[in-house]
Structure 1
Amino acid sequence: MKSITADRNNIASCGLYCGACRKFLSEKCPGCKNNEKASWCKIRQCCISKGYRTCAECERDVRECKIYSNFISKVFALLFNSDRPACI
């Protein structure tokens, strides 16, 4: 398994750090940025369409964004025990 290293390229569109994920470190997942199978992620789609690396580049507050603060994203935040808006 890889060790955790700081790398901006491993930051997902939503602000989570893929470089600390167990699946990423064990090379079972390419991370959100390079994962074409992650086309279901509306946050990722939004960032790609606007040319942003992450939501942090957007002028909108993520807490008010309906794409970022939706039911699925709140479930992910609960599952990963993360304060996702704080990541942005």
Structure 2
Amino acid sequence: MFELATELANTSPTDPRTLTRAARDFAQKQPAFAMAAGMAALYWISQGYGYEITGCAYSMQAVPPCRPPITPVSIPKPSGRRSAS
């Protein structure tokens, strides 16, 4: 069954997210299939299927980080005790 799944993934456009999940899920149980699924995911990404690769996705150790900087927020201090109403 894994041979058929590999053949189909290699010969027809397949969502790379599905293939990367298969690679992750079968890495221990079926390492040859996991490798084939991962390679097929890379192939279909290179052919424009799935999603667009950004600079952040390409570089896992991007410098500077690929997220907006955290801006500190000022929280006003209470001006005194509140009276119970």
TM-score (norm 1): 0.28
CA radius of gyration, larger in: 2
